[in-house]
Structure 1
Amino acid sequence: MAVIDARLEWLYRLAQVSAGWLEHWRGTYLTLPAGCGFGGGRLCPGNYANTQHNSHLINEVLKDPAVQCVAHFIDAGLLAFQPKLHSFLSNLLEKILLDNPDIVRMFNGCCYGACHFNLHSASTRNHKDFFNILFAMCAVYSSGEFDHMCGGHFIAWSLSIVSQFPAGSAIFIPSAPVTHANTLIAAHKWHSSMAFFTLSGLGQWYQNGYMADKEFKEHASPMQLQAWKKQCEDLWETGLELLHYD
């Protein structure tokens, strides 16, 4: 655990970002993305963009055996408790990577397509990650040096849950529909996290036959468009089935 703490602090100290980059809708702290996604004006799925300097640092973090162990720990957790969802995310990522060989896989042996490194002072505001797959469980790994009994608690407002969240532990949460946040820690302490997720845009791209919604609707026949709308309406049932443990 200490190795992970040190590696994330190393990334925090060496990363170079403008002051405006620290202020975003989840809070006021440094966050750097890794992995792949689709949306936000992209023409097709691809890796998250970082500066050349920060990309080198992130690649070093991703290659760290201790960080890879965290990714495998997260993957094993989802597999143990929600195997159907794990299979869905794993298969989706494999299809996306097969369709676009230019995408560099974030972690081998991890079903999630992307990760945010939330660094040093990662206390989030109330928010929903509405770009993520609606029914998917996202995972957050806690890191740092802080008293988890006094701060850093994880709050799932929609579920009326407040939980201690000590360093070295992980939480799984449907981050798109559930409003969540975490509490402040003492000013002389520090708290980082790794948030694992898969963007809904990747699922849309695959279900549309490797094209965006706009392109699909422009070229679809009336019958195809009707089936597409019905699939969208029934998506919540698909999600519930994937969350069900047999």
Structure 2
Amino acid sequence: MLREGEAADFHKKEKDHRRGVFPAINIGVTHGKGTPHPIQLSAGTHSAMMRRLLEDADMQRLAFFASASFQHWFPRTYAYYKQRLDVLWTEFTKREEGRLLKKNFPRSIFPSAAFNFGPRVCTFKHRDYLNCPFGLCSVQALGEFDPKKGGHLVLWEPKIFIEFPANSVVLIPSATITHSNTPCQPHETRLSFTQYCAGGLFRFLKAQDPALYDQIIEQRKDQWKEGLELFGTLEELLHSS
């Protein structure tokens, strides 16, 4: 990622955005902000670079590890994703419909990913409000930096900051918890790789599975409770381990 980022010619909006001042490219499948149906994000002039990164064996292992961690620690939330996203991949991968959608990684549940190229990624305080509100986003720190002196993960509502060394992964509800990270030192490198799911992807069920969609609408007033119930308890996690 560092080599690819150094060789790339990023546009201003790719280097200065709401999450920070560093080059970032989002890739994968999303739905929302006026799209009529789930769409494939375009990497534009960076298409060849993103194809190399998505096909890289090490990046695929990182993606799968984060997905497997999600399945292990949040099995009910993972199952919620899988039930709905399986419909998406079945219904929206038909060439004759002209809406071919492609997974980023064959063994990852997450339909979208963000490559934050650095060389010193420091995110602003933000929430990813278009993501599923009770869903999980995986964040993986990369690079070479002293985690005791920088690169800490900051979670603002619980008022905690966490040492977050390179090669670590964390799963957070990024749409509902405000988060950021502290800068690393000037001579160090810090990049990050995140995977996520836009909440709008679950709305396309209205056309594809009306019964399930009607069930979701009926339950909307209590959906926050349903979302919380998808999280596991400490006892369940200990038993599964």
- For this structure pair, what is the TM-score category when the shorter chain's length is used for normalisation? 0.7 to 0.9
- Please give the residue correspondences for 1:197-212 in structure 2 after superposition, counting only pairs within 5 Å: 197-206=196-205, 208-210=206-208
For 1:115, the equivalent position in structure 2 comes to 113
**How far, CA to CA, are the matches of 1:109 and 1:183 in structure 2?**
31
Q: Which residue of 2 aligns with 1:75?
A: 67
1:242 aligns with 2:230: yes
1:221 aligned residue: none
CA distance in 2, matches of 1:174, 1:158: 12
Distance 1:23 1:50 in 2: 16
| Contact 1:128 1:179 survives alignment (8 Å) | yes
Residue 89 (structure 1) shift: 1.6
Aligned residue for 2:219, secondary structure, equals helix
The aligned runs of 1:93-112 (5 Å cut-off) are: 93-101=85-93, 102-112=100-110
Q: Which amino acid aligns with 1:89?
A: Y
Please tell me whether residue 45 in structure 1 is matched to residue 42 in structure 2: no
Kindly indicate whether the alpha-carbon contact (under 8 Å) linking 1:11 and 1:58 is maintained by their aligned counterparts in 2.
no
Displacement after TM superposition at 1:20 (Å): 3.3
Preserved CA contact (<8 Å) 2:145 2:184: yes
CA contact (8 A) 1:153 1:183 kept: yes
Q: Structure 2 regions of 5+ residues with no counterpart?
A: 94-99, 237-241
- Check the 8 A contact 1:38/1:44 in 2, yes or no: yes
Shift of 1:179: 0.6
Contact 2:14–2:25 (Cα < 8 Å) also in 1: no
Structure 1 portions without partners, runs of 5+: 1-7, 217-223
* Count of residue pairs the alignment pairs up: 225
The secondary structure found in structure 2 opposite 1:191 is strand
Q: What RMSD over aligned residues (CA atoms) do the two structures have, in Å? A: 1.9
**What is the TM-score when the length of structure 2 is the normalising length?**
0.87
TM normalised by structure 1 equals: 0.86
Kindly tell me: are residues 99 and 191 of structure 1, through their superposed partners in 2, closer, same or farther at Cα, counting changes over 3 Å? same
Which contiguous aligned blocks of 4+ residues in structure 1 show a shift greater than 6 angstroms? none
| CA–CA separation in structure 2 for the residues paired with 1:193 and 1:183 | 13
